[in-house]
Amino acid sequence: MSEVVLDGPMIGWLLIALLPWIVVGAVVTFGIRDPRPLPPVVPGPSPNYGPPLTVAVIVPARNEARNIEACLASLASQEYPSFSVTVVDDRSTDDTGARARSVRKGHATAIRVLDGEALPDGWFGKPWACLQGARYALGEILLFTDADTRHDDPRLLARSVQALREDEAQALSLIGRQDLNTFWEKLLQPQVFALLGLRFRRMDRPLERRNSRDAIANGQYLLVTRSAYEAVGGHAAVKGEVVEDLRMAQLLTRADFRLTLRDAMGSFSTRMYQSLREIIEGWTKNIAVGARQSAGLWKVLVLPAIVGFLVLLWMVPPAVLLGSVVRSLAQARAPGLWTVWSGAATLASVALWARLYARFEVPFGYVLLFPFGSAMAAFIVLRSWVRGERRIEWKGRRYVGGKRLD
């Protein structure tokens, strides 16, 4: 193989061959619109919005002994005039309930722990726990938040209610910081969130009926007026949904309620999964269903397209580059056309992933492992594609064909 000369035609060909990476880079850089930050708190009753609204915080919890105390302590520290916290202990097999009952109420009017009722047929666990909490708790506004969340800013609830009023919305969801501690969390979580960002790019504006297909909510923090919640049927309307937060967002916007997303990176945090097994099981149950819910007419093609995207863009160029370099060294030949193309594509990929991993405060060394991370992400998507809603395992429960086995 003769040495490649990068003349005008060759540079033009190379740019065409690199077009997919150029397009993705442009979308990531210019096309993804981040949510607006939460507003600062206006001290005292606001003359524009009237007296504070009462908030009922609902925390569904199943086998959350390692998280529940820190979550409730952060909620109890919220500086908001009128709010209560209701924990629904969803038949935990650990001491979640006992740990929840040990937390002092702090600024809350009360922290109550409900022993969840038996899971009915046709329901997934989280929607059932949320429904029980909504029926029991009193409040003009409902806040559904997960047990693995940390409400780090004592003003977070006040700022969220103020954002809801500012945007004249009936529902609000927050995008918070993801706490990534282990090797697998740092490697894989940015990969999955990058896919979500490419799908849901416009998060800088309130979502309404006209963009209901693009509606998304983060179930880790969903604030909704009780009137809007009850109007769409509450969690009974999403009882059989694995990705209940996405479906709830779609139901609210289709019913002409306004949903707004806000950035709370410095005020709200979550550690979703703490091991490779949890990452695989957690995203396996979510990806296939969430992709189909948001894909419209393309739902049959979306999962194979995601796998192809991961393989062709992030895995093929480094593999070709490695093979080309080894071959050139073994045969004492100058770099060929494939080496130039794969090297340029790999370099573009490194630059892009450096930007994405930096958003999650992940060290640069993980960027160099992006092909391995993409391979693992492709495996999770394939696993989710194969299982779909036919077989779901989470929190010690198994569902096959939509029916719970244990």
Residue 106, in any domain of the structure: yes
310 shares its domain with 340:
yes
206 shares its domain with 63:
yes
Other residues' Cβ atoms within 10 Å of the Cβ of residue 256: 12
- C-beta of residue 262 within 8 angstroms of C-beta of residue 361: no
Residue 293, in any domain of the structure: no
Look at residue 213 in the predicted model and tell me its pLDDT: 73
Q: Is the pLDDT of residue 221 over 90?
A: yes
23 shares its domain with 56:
no
Question: 49 lies in which domain range?
Answer: 36-180+201-274
Angle at 356 between CA 163 and CA 181, to 5 degrees: 85
Q: Which of 219, 240, 274 corresponds to the end of one domain?
A: 274
Tens-place pLDDT, residues 331-347: 767 667 778 889 999 99
| Three-state SS at 30 | helix
- C-beta of residue 338 within 8 angstroms of C-beta of residue 14: no
- C-beta of residue 111 within 8 angstroms of C-beta of residue 381: no
140 shares its domain with 156:
yes
Residue 189, in any domain of the structure: no
350 shares its domain with 320:
yes
- C-beta of residue 121 within 8 angstroms of C-beta of residue 36: no
Residue 195, in any domain of the structure: no
Q: What does the pLDDT average to over 77-86?
A: 95
236 shares its domain with 368:
no
Look at residue 1 in the predicted model and tell me its pLDDT: 43
64 shares its domain with 79:
yes
48 shares its domain with 16:
no
Tokens of 132: 């029980």
107 shares its domain with 49:
yes
Tokens of 382: 């394939």
Distance CA 43, CA 136 (A): 30
210 shares its domain with 105:
yes
Distance CA 235, CA 264 (A): 25
Give the global pTM. 0.88
Residue 290, in any domain of the structure: no
Residue 346, in any domain of the structure: yes
Residue 1, in any domain of the structure: no
- C-beta of residue 266 within 8 angstroms of C-beta of residue 174: no
16 shares its domain with 111:
no
Instruction: Give the CA distances from residue 398 to residues 106, 138, 392, in Å, rounded to whole numbers and listed in that order.
Output: 37, 32, 6
* DSSP state, residue 82: S
Sheet hosting strand 36-37, strand order edge to edge: 36-37, 259-263, 171-175, 221-225, 141-145, 55-61, 83-89, 111-115
Question: What total number of domains does the chain contain?
Answer: 2
The mean pLDDT value of the chain amounts to 87
Residue 335 exposure: Cα atoms within 13 Å on the Cβ side:
14
**Dihedral of the alpha carbons of 368, 371, 377, 380, in degrees to the nearest 10:** -130
Look at residue 388 in the predicted model and tell me its pLDDT: 66
**pLDDT category, 289, cuts 50, 70, 90?**
confident
**Residue 103's domain is classified under what CATH number?**
3.90.550.10
Residue 285, in any domain of the structure: no
Distance CA 350, CA 364 (A): 10
Tokens of 33: 């619109």
H or E, element range at 11: helix 8-17
252 shares its domain with 140:
yes
In residues, how long is the chain? 406
Tens-place pLDDT, residues 62-74: 999 999 999 999 9
- The better pLDDT of the pair 115, 212 is held by 115
